[in-house]
Structure 1
Amino acid sequence: MKAPRETDFAYQAVYRYLAQLIDEPVNDARVRLPSLRQLAERLNVSISTIQYAYALLEKEGRVYSVAKSGYFAQPVPAANTLYSGNDLLESLYVNARRPGMLVLSTDDPAMLQPIDSPLLLLERELLRQYPRQPQTHSQPCGELELRRALAARYTTSPLRCWHADDVYIGADLRGVLEILIAVLALKGATVVVESPCDWGILRLLETASVRVIEWPVMVDGGLDHDLLEELLEVEPVRLVMVSSSLNMPRGSLASDDNRDAIAQLLRQHDCWVLENDCYAELGFEPGGLRFRDLLAPERLIVFSTFEKIMGPEAPFGYLLSRHLGVELQRHFLLRAFRLSAIRQKAIARLYGNGRIDQHLQLLRRRLKDGKVQMIQLLQERLVDTVRFVEPQGGATVWVRPVRRVDVRQVFQRLLKQQVVVAPGELFSLQGLHAQHLRLSHSVGNEQELAHALGLLADALRMESMG
């Protein structure tokens, strides 16, 4: 294998090596891939690094594992045509899984600084301490040790304190939010959502027949106080969903004064406040007010996931609520999430020994370096073509073409060049952000990124000329 540059990470090199193996032309018969040990010896890296690369490919649907047999490549038909359906999100997902595509639409910040090695090492140690035996008691809301660790992390004062009984952990974020929708009886109810918003959350609300009113973030990154006041006065709003600090995908931050004014307004109205905390730890400069610092816990619910900061090895979602305990416990019990107690214990130990905070310092640094590189490339390659919001955190950049174009056509042009971007309309249910794109700076190397941005510039120019 060609030696990676110093700026590359081992798992990225392994990932590219495996991707090339998968993309080699074969028939439709299943192709067995090298074992973890074989690859570790062949590439001179740790088994955990190989395991992480395989986990990413498995998440993308490009490989699958068979118990006691190993990993296999998903067969790819010879006629690998573009998806031509009308669902833009489905088109993005299908094409992102095609071999050879540069997926510039992804949002996996943890890829830049994986924490799988210490996590798996702790897990092995815990397996020796807790040999497998019949479980003496059920913990349907998650492992108590991890719930205690999260409660301690979110506690900031005697008034804004959390306990293990206030924390609920599920297999993934979607499952946790589905339970919350049921407990709050949001079907048919009106929910105000900060926009742009993660497409997974929007699709979930839409599927659950929730009436969503979008609350667009202003150009300067602030939240529109007057618009929210009007909505709260004229609409039967059951819940308002806000970002705890960092709005993604814009990567922007509202000022502390603006956030405080919104909190004062929310305190005057009888509605639930749902704080999206998935990206709060990924701001380049930690600190600043969050809504849970400004609102009493009585009407506040917080949700988040470990995946954005730890990667696919920690897919669990969780929420914090000091109320609705009986109903939340009942629904978590009925859902019967199958969670690895040892994996949860390992995550709790990473919080307890300070390893998560060390990891976050390195991850923020990597993300900031990636942002600087991406901004420089945008200024070099698309200076007269796009405007962008300089992100204050995360792994993506929110861009807008200077001239009005059909972004869907730009998306299709780039697919033919084997590049996948995320059109802005995916982050809205009401047609907002159709003149925007979300681009990732956490994929590929500098040459691949520069090439992809050059293709984007060409596609925008061709589309603007008509």
Structure 2
Amino acid sequence: MKGPRDADFAYQAVYRYLTTLINESFGHGRLRLPSLRRLAIRLNVSISTIQYAYALLEKEGRVYSVAKSGYFAVPASSIDLMHSSNDLLETVYVNARRPGVLVLSADEPALLQPLDSPLLLLERELLRQYPRQSLPFAQPYGELELRTALAARYTTSPVRCWHADDVFVGADLRGVLEIIIAVLGLNDAAVVVESPCDWAILRLFQASCVRVIELPVMANSCLDFERLKMLLETESVRLVMVSSGLNMPRGSLAPDDNRQAIARLLAQHGSWVLENDCYGELAFEAGRPRFRDLLAPERLMVFSSFEKIIGPEAPFGYLLSRHFSAQLQRQFMLRSFRLSPIRQKAIARLYSNGRIDQHLQVLRRLLKERKGQMTQLLRERLGDALHVVEPQGGATVWVRSLRRVNVRRVFQRLLTQDVVIAPGELFSLQGLHAQNLRLSHTFGGEYDLAAALGLLGDALRLEAMD
């Protein structure tokens, strides 16, 4: 299993081995998969490597775990195609779970360079230092050590400083966003968001009856200053949500002068500003100012998660806010998030010992290399069919069809050929981006990407609308 590229990518080989094992089992009833220890011995890799491969498969819906029994393959009948579903997002999720499918719809930056091994190693060391019986009661806002580490990381000056009491850690990003919605009273309120926007955030706002007003990112990557000004003057906008740097899924960075102008405009109005920092560490070019560096902290809140840079072993979401301390504390206590204190301490140590920064340097380099390979293939093979927005960071590429096409039919056609893409309409609640696609350049397993892009090109030509 350990070849010339060492063990950094051993989990990919384990992932392929398990995928083949699962595929061979379909039609033979429920399959119990090998235990972590047994598989580690069989394949001569660490248990943490096996653990990460299983975590990926579990996240894809390919396997499930049973307490004290181990991992089992999901029966084929549970992951049938859903061509008839009216919910496009559900169709994407269900088909991404099918065995043997090339998932070009995902957004998993840490897949290239997970930080699970150092994290789990630290966790084992901490378990020896902090026996479970000696641990204090769970802290409802997150472990103090982790909150202190995050406050220090986000502090850039005596004015733009954060303290542990300003940081709140939740079980996942959705739970943290639900608390923000509750505390700011966003139900039935108007919220301006950059568009395209992450589908999970859009669906959460929709489910909470938030009135979403989309502010499209322009072709030159700028936010539309005049449109935002008009919205702030004519609408009762409760909240404006902006990306700290990278707009995802576009992968674009607004020019510095545009962000400075937007920041000055936001400062003139009384709306709350919510900064999405989930991708703030994944820009290829470091050192660019974030929105929080341009805005006064009086009406600013920042949210993010660890998953995009560490991987699925660190699913926690977190929030930084100097305000609403009593309301936030109450909401976090009511949620009673059950978070592993040792896992949180281990994440804090990764920040304090510099391991996160070392990891990010490698991860950004690998993402940039993969981006280059993907965009080159797209331009060589689909240059006459697609316009590519050059990504400035992240793990995806945003493209637009040069011809008018029915992208949903392109999506359905590719499903029959075991390729899953993310149509652009998923990233809007108002019918925007219908001619766009988001494509991933990081995915598990070995696939012929050039052949898959050839299938995409064929589908685009066949579904072109006169």
| TM-score tier (shorter) | over 0.9
Call closer, same or farther: CA 1:111–1:280 in 2, change over 3 Å.
same
What amino acid maps onto 1:200 in structure 2?
Answer: A
Pair 1:191-2:191 in alignment: yes
Looking at structure 2, the residues matched to 414 and 360 of structure 1 have their Cα atoms a distance apart, in angstroms, of: 34
Aligned counterparts, 1:268-417, within 5 A? 268-417=268-417
What's the CA shift for 1:444? Answer: 4.8
What's the CA shift for 1:82? Answer: 3.8
Which position in structure 2 is the counterpart of 1:208? Answer: 208
What's the CA shift for 1:83? Answer: 3.6
* Greater Cα offset, 419-428 or 437-446: 437-446
Conservation of the 8 A alpha-carbon contact between 1:114 and 1:310: yes
Aligned counterparts, 1:205-244, within 5 A? 205-244=205-244
Looking at structure 2, the residues matched to 49 and 156 of structure 1 have their Cα atoms a distance apart, in angstroms, of: 36
Which digits, 9 at most, give the CA deviation of each residue in 1:211-252, with x for residues without a partner?
A: 000000010111111110000000000000000000000000
Conservation of the 8 A alpha-carbon contact between 1:31 and 1:73: yes
Call closer, same or farther: CA 1:258–1:339 in 2, change over 3 Å.
same
What's the CA shift for 1:288? Answer: 0.8
Call closer, same or farther: CA 1:3–1:83 in 2, change over 3 Å.
farther
Call closer, same or farther: CA 1:211–1:28 in 2, change over 3 Å.
farther
What's the CA shift for 1:68? Answer: 2.2
Which position in structure 2 is the counterpart of 1:100? Answer: 100
What amino acid maps onto 1:217 in structure 2?
Answer: V
Aligned counterparts, 1:99-248, within 5 A? 99-133=99-133, 135-248=135-248
Looking at structure 2, the residues matched to 124 and 412 of structure 1 have their Cα atoms a distance apart, in angstroms, of: 46
Call closer, same or farther: CA 1:465–1:229 in 2, change over 3 Å.
closer
What's the CA shift for 1:59? Answer: 1.1
What amino acid maps onto 1:229 in structure 2?
Answer: K
Looking at structure 1, the residues matched to 418 and 447 of structure 2 have their Cα atoms a distance apart, in angstroms, of: 15
Conservation of the 8 A alpha-carbon contact between 2:110 and 2:310: yes
Aligned length: 466
Which digits, 9 at most, give the CA deviation of each residue in 1:362-387, with x for residues without a partner?
A: 00000000000001111221111111
Conservation of the 8 A alpha-carbon contact between 1:4 and 1:13: no
What's the CA shift for 1:282? Answer: 0.3
Q: Secondary structure at the match of 2:463?
A: helix
What's the CA shift for 1:136? Answer: 3.7
Which position in structure 2 is the counterpart of 1:12? Answer: 12
What's the CA shift for 1:4? Answer: 9.0
Looking at structure 2, the residues matched to 92 and 114 of structure 1 have their Cα atoms a distance apart, in angstroms, of: 24
Conservation of the 8 A alpha-carbon contact between 2:79 and 2:94: no
Q: Secondary structure at the match of 1:146?
A: helix
What's the CA shift for 1:41? Answer: 2.1
Q: Secondary structure at the match of 1:77?
A: helix
What amino acid maps onto 2:386 in structure 1?
Answer: V
Percentage identity across aligned positions? 75
Conservation of the 8 A alpha-carbon contact between 2:109 and 2:394: yes
What's the CA shift for 1:42? Answer: 2.1
What amino acid maps onto 2:87 in structure 1?
Answer: D
What's the CA shift for 1:137? Answer: 3.7
Looking at structure 2, the residues matched to 351 and 236 of structure 1 have their Cα atoms a distance apart, in angstroms, of: 40
Q: Which 4+ residue blocks in structure 1 deviate beyond 4 angstroms? A: 1-8, 444-447
What's the CA shift for 1:185? Answer: 0.5
Call closer, same or farther: CA 1:447–1:68 in 2, change over 3 Å.
closer
* Greater Cα offset, 265-274 or 375-384: 375-384
What's the CA shift for 1:272? Answer: 0.1
Which position in structure 2 is the counterpart of 1:456? Answer: 456
What's the CA shift for 1:84? Answer: 1.5
Looking at structure 1, the residues matched to 144 and 24 of structure 2 have their Cα atoms a distance apart, in angstroms, of: 46
Question: Which 5+ residue runs of structure 2 have no aligned equivalent?
Answer: none
Call closer, same or farther: CA 1:203–1:447 in 2, change over 3 Å.
closer
Which digits, 9 at most, give the CA deviation of each residue in 1:304-329, with x for residues without a partner?
A: 00000000000000000000000000
What's the CA shift for 1:356? Answer: 0.2
Question: Which 5+ residue runs of structure 1 have no aligned equivalent?
Answer: none
What's the CA shift for 1:38? Answer: 2.0
Which digits, 9 at most, give the CA deviation of each residue in 1:195-224, with x for residues without a partner?
A: 100000000000000000000001011111
Looking at structure 2, the residues matched to 95 and 4 of structure 1 have their Cα atoms a distance apart, in angstroms, of: 34
What's the CA shift for 1:461? Answer: 1.0
What's the CA shift for 1:442? Answer: 0.5
What's the CA shift for 1:79? Answer: 9.4
Which position in structure 2 is the counterpart of 1:263? Answer: 263
Looking at structure 1, the residues matched to 178 and 341 of structure 2 have their Cα atoms a distance apart, in angstroms, of: 22
What amino acid maps onto 2:399 in structure 1?
Answer: V
Q: Aligned-residue CA RMSD in angstroms?
A: 1.8
Looking at structure 2, the residues matched to 374 and 7 of structure 1 have their Cα atoms a distance apart, in angstroms, of: 24
Looking at structure 2, the residues matched to 22 and 204 of structure 1 have their Cα atoms a distance apart, in angstroms, of: 33
Q: Secondary structure at the match of 1:348?
A: helix
Which digits, 9 at most, give the CA deviation of each residue in 1:424-451, with x for residues without a partner?
A: 0000000000100000000157752112
What amino acid maps onto 1:297 in structure 2?
Answer: P
Which digits, 9 at most, give the CA deviation of each residue in 1:311-350, with x for residues without a partner?
A: 0000000000000000000000000000000000000000
Looking at structure 2, the residues matched to 204 and 105 of structure 1 have their Cα atoms a distance apart, in angstroms, of: 20
Looking at structure 1, the residues matched to 5 and 84 of structure 2 have their Cα atoms a distance apart, in angstroms, of: 38
Which digits, 9 at most, give the CA deviation of each residue in 1:75-113, with x for residues without a partner?
A: 112994444111100110111111111100000000000
Call closer, same or farther: CA 1:465–1:327 in 2, change over 3 Å.
closer
Which digits, 9 at most, give the CA deviation of each residue in 1:119-177, with x for residues without a partner?
A: 00000000000001165444100000000000000000000000000000000000000
What amino acid maps onto 1:61 in structure 2?
Answer: G
Q: Structure 2 length normalisation: TM-score?
A: 0.97
Looking at structure 2, the residues matched to 101 and 191 of structure 1 have their Cα atoms a distance apart, in angstroms, of: 37
Looking at structure 2, the residues matched to 127 and 25 of structure 1 have their Cα atoms a distance apart, in angstroms, of: 37
Which position in structure 2 is the counterpart of 1:51? Answer: 51
What amino acid maps onto 2:449 in structure 1?
Answer: L
Conservation of the 8 A alpha-carbon contact between 1:223 and 1:254: yes
Conservation of the 8 A alpha-carbon contact between 1:83 and 1:95: no
Which digits, 9 at most, give the CA deviation of each residue in 1:43-79, with x for residues without a partner?
A: 2221111110000111111111122221111111299
What's the CA shift for 1:26? Answer: 3.4
